[in-house]
Amino acid sequence: MATPVDPPAVLAPISQAGRIGLFLVRMLGSLRPQPSLLLSTLQQVYLVGARSLVIIMICGFFVGMVLALQAINALEQFGASDQVSLLVGKSLFRELGPVLTALLFAGRAGTSVAAEIGLMRATSQIDAMELMAIDPVQRIALPRFLAGAVSVPLLTAMFNALAILGAVVFSIGVMGLDAGIFWSKLQNGVYFQEDFIGGIWKSLVFGGLVSLVAVYFGFHAKPTGAGVGTATTNTVVLSSVLILVFDFIMTSFFT
């Protein structure tokens, strides 16, 4: 692949965005519904999704507990500590669940994807594939991208579930709030359409973003050890920024 001509420094971020967009188009353009694609996507779901499960669940549990702790502290001043589940549920479903899961996913799975593909580039495996007339974008990039987009919403759901459990453990188990009030506030105040489905959409977008960035930087890593390192760093930095930017955009336009 020919190295692109360097644009003026000011335009670098814009052309970078353009290259990532073109890469996405190229990747989706190579999408052919084949059994082999399903199989390799499933394998990647295991590598990026299932293997991220434990860290997501542990983090979710503690996020739920600390949310409940802080919410009870604040709400107690108004004598409204039985509203804790509403506050925890709304903030989890709408913001914290999708964003934190995507950030963790970028650190746990995005880096490993970028490093893996970067190393393939460094050891000329991708060039070899091109020589054999196998499209590496279709064979390597697409399954990882799809697996990320599928995994992140599911991971978000598990993060949210564990966070709710964490909130239950803290507010009912430790602080002794009433369990019935906890669940009924949750079921009456958290809306399925706006809060729940909105959060799932967000996490789908975040999953696509993180895996797109990871795959892109892996593919375009310099074929050296340092190049692989730079690719993983860039993946975490850019995907974290993009997650937060897109979170704001989606929240302000779609709610």
Which CB, 105 or 217, lies closer to another protein?
105
Which CB, 99 or 200, lies closer to another protein?
200
Distance CA 63, CA 20 (A): 33
Residue 176 zone, left/alpha/beta (φ > 0; ψ -120 to 50; rest): left
Which CB, 82 or 227, lies closer to another protein?
82
Distance CA 120, CA 106 (A): 20
Tokens of 217: 């930087």
Question: What's the closest the beta carbon of residue 153 comes to another protein, in angstroms?
Answer: 8
Question: What's the closest the beta carbon of residue 82 comes to another protein, in angstroms?
Answer: 13
Distance CA 116, CA 110 (A): 10
| DSSP per residue, 93-156 | IIIIHHHHHHHHHIIIIIHHHHHHHHHHHHTTHHHHHHHTT--HIIIIIHHHHHHHHHHHHHHH
Task: Give the interface with another protein as residue ranges (CB under 8 A).
Answer: 36, 39-40, 42-43, 45-46, 49-50, 53, 89, 93, 150-151, 153-155, 157-158, 160-161, 164, 183, 186-192, 195-196, 200
* Closest among 250, 234, 236 to 104, alpha carbons compared: 236
Which CB, 36 or 233, lies closer to another protein?
36
Question: What's the closest the beta carbon of residue 244 comes to another protein, in angstroms?
Answer: 24
Question: What's the closest the beta carbon of residue 191 comes to another protein, in angstroms?
Answer: 6
Which CB, 87 or 238, lies closer to another protein?
87
Question: What's the closest the beta carbon of residue 160 comes to another protein, in angstroms?
Answer: 6
